[in-house]
Amino acid sequence: MPKRWGKERLKDFFYRMAKSRGYRSRAAFKLIEMNEKFKLFKEGSVVVDLGAYPGGWSQVALNVVGERGLVVAVDVRDIKSLGVPNLIVLKGDICDEEVHGEVLRTLPRKADAVISDAAPKLSGVWSTDLARQALLIECSLRLAHKALRVGGNMVVKAFQGEGLDDVLRLLRKSFSVVKLYRPKASKKASREIYIVCLNFKGIEA
């Protein structure tokens, strides 16, 4: 790790907070803020966490849903166990229909929330990265159509730029409320933004 990058991380308030509280990533605070504001899930909820590596969002979800709830975490990378019985980790591509089927077989009932902090490996070509991120959102929505209960909620990471309006139009076909939100823990230089989708209509886009 370059020394300069390491020093910048040490100066990062949310990075230090994550380390002190035992969260695996600073992104945990993004979900904490959004769940407090929008009530995406609560104690006893069933939550599907897409693009879950390294597990920061799953940690937050587990803290909220408690022992009566369940979190199903999905990522192409290996997620280290958190040592709790109500976290199920599945390895696979969130755009793979077979992985969708595995998620559905794992759920005891329809999910109350689908959360996705998934992002592509950045190519450095912004138009390409925007398209890849839009695809991940579409894959998350496809799974939500099958896994999410009517009235359930979803939050997905997006990038600001060309095509975002098209993504918002697509999501509004399936959710009553669709809002853009930028958490305080998002880095100032980042073009990420989150799309908060509330009250799933139960109809496909």
Active site residues: 157
Q: Tell me how far apart the alpha carbons of residues 133 and 89 are, in angstroms, rounded to a whole number.
A: 23
Give me the residues paired with residue 116 across strands.
50, 156
Determine how β-strand 111-116 pairs with β-strand 46-50.
parallel
Instruction: Decide: 178 and 197 in contact? Cβ < 8 Å.
Output: yes
Q: Tell me how far apart the alpha carbons of residues 187 and 61 are, in angstroms, rounded to a whole number.
A: 22
At position 50, the amino acid (one-letter code) is: L
Nearest alpha-carbon partner for 154 in 144, 165, 146, 164:
144
Distance, CA of 105 to chain centre? 20
Q: Tell me how far apart the alpha carbons of residues 85 and 156 are, in angstroms, rounded to a whole number.
A: 26
